[in-house]
Every structure is written in structure tokens, then in C-alpha cells.
Amino acid sequence: MRIIFFAGKGGVGKTSLAAATGIKAAEAGHKTLIMSLDVAHSLVDIFDLGRDLLDQNRGKPLKVRENLWLQELDIQEEIRKNWGAIHKYLSLLLNTTGLDEILAEELAILPGMEEVSLLLYINQYVQRKTFEVIILDCAPTGESLRFISIPTTLEWYMAKIFKMEKTLAKLARPLAKRIYDVPLPGDDYFDALEKLFERLQGVDRILTDPRITTVRLVTNPEKIVLKETQRAYMYFSLYRMLIDAIIMNRIFPEGVQDDYFRDWKKNQEMYRQKAEEYFSPLPILNVPLFRGEVLGYRQLKQLGDQLYAGRDPLDRFYTDQPYRLSKINGNYQLRLKVPFITKQDIDLTTLPEELIIRIGSYQRHLPLPRSVAAAGTVKAKLEGETLTIQFEGA
Ligand SMILES: Nc1ncnc2c1ncn2[C@@H]1O[C@H](COP(=O)(O)OP(=O)(O)OP(=O)(O)O)[C@@H](O)[C@H]1O
Ligand SMILES: [Mg+2]
């Protein structure tokens, strides 16, 4: 079983590279599913298939080739299957608070329902061994971070809030009916939530098991895109997901000599070097800018050939967790690998969302959550290849 996430900023090439990887895996004989985690689905468009094909399929996996399936969720179908009592209560709530019935039904699709539905599928496919490879085409960074935080958030909600809410609703129901117009959720609402939660059990273990799941961060050699990639790198690591490669997409090929692109090429060169500094020791896979949009099976396959250049796309290209943030006795501690460095003076500078580490010629900018960066004192210790940074008073 192998799951690979393709994540990154909007428009960097996630869907194309996810599709290209899926094609390579399927052609190597693995039963492969490419799933879109983006509400603005575009998988079918990139494969240049008719949209009605997938619409008829109502969000189920659609076989497009030998060993290759595509899946884009149909939220209405999911609500019917998974969210019945929950959706009914939410629409009733919105409806009684004055919204038109149709609008209430539409609005009762909570942010997160689609993502939870996807997690249910992933869990089910892994348990039932439906596919050997699942490729996940993520939404732009912010939303995909919310996606991976769902299992932890739900776990917390079920452990801390759910039982209390259920008991309170039971106690308050007879009373509140007389005082307020707003209906309280019934037992079927709570039962449905509980059942959903049960079906999600284990999915966080799948996503954080580095033998199964790895993340590939797609980026471009540009300042703002790189900055967001660094942030994504930190957050995925915070959720203990293993990032096994950075994919540098849209590099101007050597053949482009036109004077008009001279500055573009120079800047790309500079940002590629910066990327090496930022992300080492992670491998960076380079992909050139194609002559035009990458559309249809043949071109996607060519993109896959360029991307993996003879490597097996299912390999884990990096297996270490280069970066680990934990909370020990109330203080944050960051441990990171800094290979090939001999002990010298360590210089640390904290900015509102960033830590700059300098050890001799080694320099590293690490984005930090604000709560961590707010620490009063920051100390560092180098032991072998491991640098430990202690934040106190955050
Ligand atoms: N290496 C490349 N060369 C040429 N065109 C590319 C390359 N990579 C991606 N594209 C094109 O760039 C556009 C955006 O790519 P894609 O849809 O894969 O990005 P995305 O990251 O999934 O975007 P979104 O965040 O909107 O989902 C597409 O038209 C695609 O064909
Ligand atoms: Mg996309």
C-alpha cells in the first residue's frame, strides 16, 4: 500500500504532477487511484475527458485505463450516504432561524464535510485493500493543511466536547423547546456523528505512517511560491507527515535563449539555489516548463518521465524526519538534522514567524508557528548531526 500527497500553492502544477505519477504507477502494473481533494476539481479536465463521464459516475472511481481510476467526490451523494441526520439537523436549524428551505439545505454543507468524506474513503480503501496506490491531488496549501488536521481535531472534539454536548442537549431539550425557537439536536444527530467518527478511526495512523504515506511538495523557482513551500514543509512536518521530495516545476529549459527571458532564467537559477539551501537534505526533482499546457494522457505521461527520470515513483525518496517540533514540560523544542557541520558558534535570530539559524557558512530559515516564535529565550545545542533548539517562555 502506498499513498502519495501532492501539495503546494495554487497553480504550481499539483494536479498535473499527481496525474503524471498515477499514470507511471498504473503502467508499472499497480492498481492505482488518483483522487482529487480539491473542491474545484480539475482531474477530468487535465485528462481531457468529458465532464459528463464523471458526473454520471456520481463521485465513484472512474476507470480510465488499465489499472487506473480517477475519483472526484460528489458532495450531494456523500451527504446522502454519510451525513443524513447531521445534514438534516443543520438544515432544520438554518431553516428555523429564518433561511429559505432550499438555501438552508445548501448552506448546511459544513466546511469540512467533503474532506471528512474523503478521509472515510481513504480509510475504507486501505482497510479493504481496494487499490495498491492512492495518489492525492491536494487543494492549495491552506486548505490541505486543514484537511490533514481533521483527524486530530475530531479526536479532540470527540474526547473533550462531544459527550458534554450530548448530555447537555438531552437535559435542555424539554426546557429549551418552550423557551427558544431553535431546535436542539436529537439523538439521531449524535448517533450519526459517533458512527462517522468510528469509521474514521485509524486514518491518522495511515497518514502519519511513513512506510505508507509521503508528501511531495510542488513548487516553482519563484520567491513567493518558495516561501509558501517552506511554510507547508513545516506544517506537514508538524502533523508528522513524511515529506519525501520537493518537486521544482516549470524550470526554463536550457534551449530557451531568447533575450526576453534572460532575467527570468537568472532569477530561476537563484531561487533554485535557495531551494537547495532551504530544503536540504530533501531531494529536489526538477521538471522543465513544457511548450504548452500539459493536457491528455500522452503529455501527462511525458511529464511523468521528466519528473522521475528512471526512478520508481513509488519509492520513498527520503526517509528521515528532518525536523521535529514537540512540547516538553510546557516548552517547545525543535530538533533538526544538520549534516556535515562541525561544531562552531551557533547564531539564532527569531522573527515573528521565522527562525534564522547560522552556523559558520550554514544558514537556514525556518518558518515557525507564531506561538513558538514568541518565546522569550531561545537556546541551541548541537550533538552530532542533531541540532536541538529550546524555546522558553512561549
Ligand atoms: N511543467 C509544466 N509545463 C507547462 N505547463 C505546465 C507545467 N506544469 C503545469 N502546467 C500547466 O499549468 C496549469 C496549472 O497546472 P495544475 O492544474 O496542475 O496546477 P495546480 O497546482 O493543480 O493548480 P490548482 O491550485 O489550481 O489546483 C495547467 O494548465 C498545466 O497544464
Ligand atoms: Mg489542482
59 lines ligand 1 (CB under 6 A): no
Give the closest residue (by CA) to ligand 1 atom 26: 11
How far, in Å, from the CA of 105 to the mean position of ligand 1? 34
How far, in Å, from the CA of 28 to the mean position of ligand 2? 24
Q: Are strands 242-251 and 284-288 parallel, antiparallel or unpaired?
A: parallel
The ligand that comes nearest to the alpha carbon of residue 18 is 1
Give the closest residue (by CA) to ligand 1 atom 4: 290
pLDDT tens for each residue of 264-302: 999 999 999 999 988 888 999 999 999 999 999 999 999
Work out which ligand 1 atom sits closest to the CA atom of 16: 18
Distance CA 101, CA 174 (A): 25
State which of 5, 9, 16 you would mutate to test the pocket of ligand 1, scoring each by most atoms of that ligand within 8 A of its C-beta: 16
293 lines ligand 1 (CB under 6 A): yes
Q: In CATH, which superfamily holds the domain spanning 1-84+100-163+199-315?
A: P-loop containing nucleotide triphosphate hydrolases (3.40.50.300)
37 lines ligand 1 (CB under 6 A): no
Instruction: Provide the phi-psi class of 250: left if phi over 0, else alpha when psi is between -120 and 50, else beta.
Output: left
* Predicted local confidence at residue 212, as pLDDT: 96
If DSSP codes are grouped into helix, strand and coil, which group holds residue 193? helix
Determine the length of the chain.
Answer: 394
How far, in Å, from the CA of 391 to the mean position of ligand 2? 37
* Predicted local confidence at residue 73, as pLDDT: 84
Work out which ligand 1 atom sits closest to the CA atom of 218: 21
According to DSSP, the residues that pair with 386 across neighbouring strands are: 337, 383
If DSSP codes are grouped into helix, strand and coil, which group holds residue 174? helix
- State which amino acid sits at residue 56: Q
Distance CA 333, CA 327 (A): 6
* Predicted local confidence at residue 124, as pLDDT: 93
> What does DSSP assign to residue 66?
T
Distance CA 152, CA 158 (A): 10
- What CATH number does the domain located at 323-392 have? 2.60.40.790
The ligand that comes nearest to the alpha carbon of residue 72 is 2
Q: Which residues contact 306 (CB under 8 A, 6 or more apart)?
A: 287, 288
219 lines ligand 1 (CB under 6 A): no
Distance CA 76, CA 41 (A): 15
Report whether 26 contacts 2 (CB < 8 A): no
> For the chain, which residues score pLDDT lower than 50?
none
How far, in Å, from the CA of 66 to the mean position of ligand 2? 23
If DSSP codes are grouped into helix, strand and coil, which group holds residue 196? helix
Nearest to 159 by CA among 201, 117, 206: 201
Report whether 306 contacts 250 (CB < 8 A): no
290 lines ligand 1 (CB under 6 A): yes
How far, in Å, from the CA of 272 to the mean position of ligand 2? 23
229 lines ligand 1 (CB under 6 A): no
How far, in Å, from the CA of 16 to the mean position of ligand 2? 7
Domain map of the chain by residue range?
1-84+100-163+199-315, 323-392
Distance CA 327, CA 313 (A): 35
Burial class of residue 292 in the structure, from the number of CB atoms within 10 Å of its CB (0-12 exposed, 13-18 middle, 19+ buried):
exposed
Distance CA 309, CA 328 (A): 43
Give the closest residue (by CA) to ligand 1 atom 11: 293
State which of 15, 36, 286 you would mutate to test the pocket of ligand 1, scoring each by most atoms of that ligand within 8 A of its C-beta: 15
Per the structure block, which three cell numbers stand in for 166? 450530548
Distance CA 174, CA 170 (A): 8
> 281 preceded by cis ω (within 30°)?
yes
Distance CA 120, CA 132 (A): 17
How far, in Å, from the CA of 121 to the mean position of ligand 1? 26
61 lines ligand 1 (CB under 6 A): no
Strands (E), the chain: 2-8, 32-36, 62-65, 68-71, 133-137, 213-219, 242-251, 284-288, 323-328, 331-337, 346-351, 354-359, 362-367, 377-383, 386-392
* Predicted local confidence at residue 206, as pLDDT: 93
Distance CA 349, CA 317 (A): 31
Per the structure block, which three cell numbers stand in for 277? 539551501
